[in-house]
Amino acid sequence: MSPEEFRKHAHEMVDWMADYLGSVEQYPVRSQARPGEIYGRLPETAPEMPESMADIFADFKRDVLPGITHWQHPSFFAYFPANSSPPSVLAEMLTSTLAAQCMLWQTSPAGTEMETRMMEWLRDMLGLPTDLHGVIQDSATSSTLAALLVAREKATGWRANDEGLAQLGAAGITPVVYVSEEAHSSIEKTMKVAGYGRDCLRKIASDDDFAMRVDLLEKAIEQDIADGFTPACITACIGGTGTGAVDPLRAIGEVARKHDIWLHVDAAWAGSALILPETRDMIDGVELADSFVFNPHKWLFTNFDCTAFYVRDPQALERTLSLVPEFLKSREADAVIDYQNWSVPLGRRFRALKLWFVIRSYGVSGLQDIIRKHIKLAEGLYAAVQAEADFEIISPLRLALFSFRYHPSGIEDETQLDDMNMQLLETLNDSGELYLTQNRVRGRYTIRFSIGQTGTEQHHIDNAWAKIQKTARTLGV
């Protein structure tokens, strides 16, 4: 395909893209495709001869679109958002055209240096301590993995990377990690990946607000020390996935300092809201943290993937992850950052560009306006749900997240309530009018309501709430 043919096709696609952005509400939020349906539409084998872009694009519209769940639909209230924005898409267009691989400074100085600047911008926008140094990663999971690895190295006297955990275990060193029971499953996953093992993850019970109980944390650490384990890391959760739980960071940080344990803060979703000064009581004590992660690709209008991972001591991170064979050496290495030494994968896209486009295009005040609007929408909906006698709040409003269930009077059997709400959720999602996710809170099946789509307005919330009430009350109960 020549540059001129590309120009022609790309203009056609831009028109479709602009139309899509303007008409996304016409699609069902969650794809209505059945298992195997899209697979069945795609040929079993690759074509031997070239096919025209007109055919490919037509097939995209006919065969692929029905299998898309529209994450950018303003009635997407499932999971957490992975919101995007027009300036972010523009940047992605340029990024994919340059197709630079930014593993080293030399392989695109602008990739590295803009990343450094954008991480500084974000750090300051969130009110994080100025001695934190950031890097863009693919996911919060990968960042938490990196944190657990540095913590592992530090706690074992920098021996685990070389000797391996098995040999350290034989020498009586078994590192352990602490999280709240409300923490994200990714921490359990990274415990497996990093070789700690799930049995070495201490899940600390939470209080009535779903926040980690620091008295139990301290007790667990002391017990582990007495039993000969090596406390390596505490992961504090700011805005947990299930209930938006916020752990008491300062108190946890003081325990971490006292015992010289790495403190990692997982604010994957809630971190973006920290651009609002009025939310920053959530991270009181953050100056005690050793690392901090949040996802601009969740709630800051920047295409996935874009995770911001901060560490206070980048040398410790590099010492943990760096490996520079001859063909990755460069003469500037001492004067620059080679971000491949800050993450597990070697290859890196030019991901800073979309942050630059988004932050400049909206301005900090513009970004604040949208997140404030989301929180205000959530407050209004939360009050509306509270006001209805046959609905029950299960976890309180945190920023723009809460969970509830339908609970008509006279039904007290928990299994029956679970089944009823499961049916409610599936019916709502099957309607295509909105998309919600379930959770279990202290054993009870609940429905999460998470607001954060770029284009969500009051009427989307009103429509969703009307649909929820009507569907619940006609479930045949």
Write down the least CB distance from residue 12 to its own copies, Å.
9
DSSP H helical ranges for 171-285: 185-193, 214-226, 249-259
Choose between 120 and 388: whose C-beta lies nearer to its own copies: 120
Query: Does position 426 bind its own copies by CB under 8 A?
Result: yes
As to burial, measured by CB atoms within 10 angstroms (0-12 exposed, 13-18 middle, 19+ buried), residue 31 is middle
Amino acid identity of residue 280, one-letter, is R
Q: How far is the CB of 174 from its own copies (least distance, A)?
A: 4
- Residue 65 as a binder of its own copies (CB under 8 A): the answer is yes
Instruction: For the CB of residue 137, give the shortest distance to its own copies in the complex, in Å.
Output: 9
Token readout for 213 is 């109980």
Binding segment (CB under 8 A) for its own copies, from list 205-213, 285-293, 309-317, 325-333? 325-333
Among 312, 362, 423, 427, binds its own copies (CB under 8 A): 362
How big, in percent rounded to 5, are the helix, strand and coil portions of the chain?
Answer: 50, 15, 35
Closest CB to its own copies among residues 250, 441: 441
User: Which amino acid is present at 455?
Assistant: G
- Nearest distance in Å: CB 217, its own copies: 20
Phi-psi region of 56 (alpha: psi -120 to 50; beta: other; left: phi over 0): alpha
Query: In 3-state terms, what secondary structure has residue 437?
Result: strand
| Kind plus residue range of the DSSP H or E element containing 391 | strand 391-398
- Cα maximum dimension of the chain: 75
Which of 161-169, 247-255, 284-292, 409-417 is the region at the interface with its own copies (rule: CB under 8 A)? Answer: 161-169
What residues does 391 pair with on adjacent strands? 406
Backbone angles phi, psi at 409, to 5 degrees: -65, 145
**Which of 200, 217, 293, 399 is close enough to bind its own copies by CB under 8 A?**
200
**Residue 353 is a binding residue for its own copies (CB under 8 A):** yes
Q: Write out the binding residues for its own copies, residues 100-139 only, by CB under 8 A.
A: 100-101, 105-111, 113-114, 116-117, 120-122, 124-125, 138-139
Task: State the binding string over 169-188 for its own copies (x if CB under 8 A, else -).
Answer: xx-xxxx--------xxx-x
82 is an interface residue for its own copies by CB under 8 A = yes
Neighbours of 412 (CB within 10 A): 8
Q: Report the nearest approach of its own copies to the CB of residue 460 (Å).
A: 17
List beta partners, residue 291: 264, 311
- Judge whether 268 and 140 are in contact, CB under 8 Å: yes
Interface with its own copies (CB under 8 A), residue from 345, 411, 442, 457: 345
Q: How far is the CB of 257 from its own copies (least distance, A)?
A: 25
- Contact between 158 and its own copies per CB under 8 A: no
Distance separating alpha carbons of residues 163 and 211, to the nearest angstrom: 37
CB 383 to its own copies: min, Å: 24
3-state secondary structure of 119: helix
Strand order from edge to edge, sheet including 307-311: 133-137, 307-311, 291-294, 262-266, 230-237, 175-180, 201-204
Among 192, 257, 442, 459, contact with its own copies (rule: CB under 8 A):
192
* 439-458: contacts with its own copies (CB under 8 A): 439-440, 448
Residue whose CB is less far from its own copies, 191 or 377: 191
DSSP E strand stretches across 185-322 = 201-204, 230-237, 262-266, 291-294, 307-311
**String marking each residue 248-287 x if it binds its own copies according to CB under 8 A:** ----------------------------------------
Question: Is 421 an interacting residue with respect to its own copies (CB under 8 A)?
Answer: no
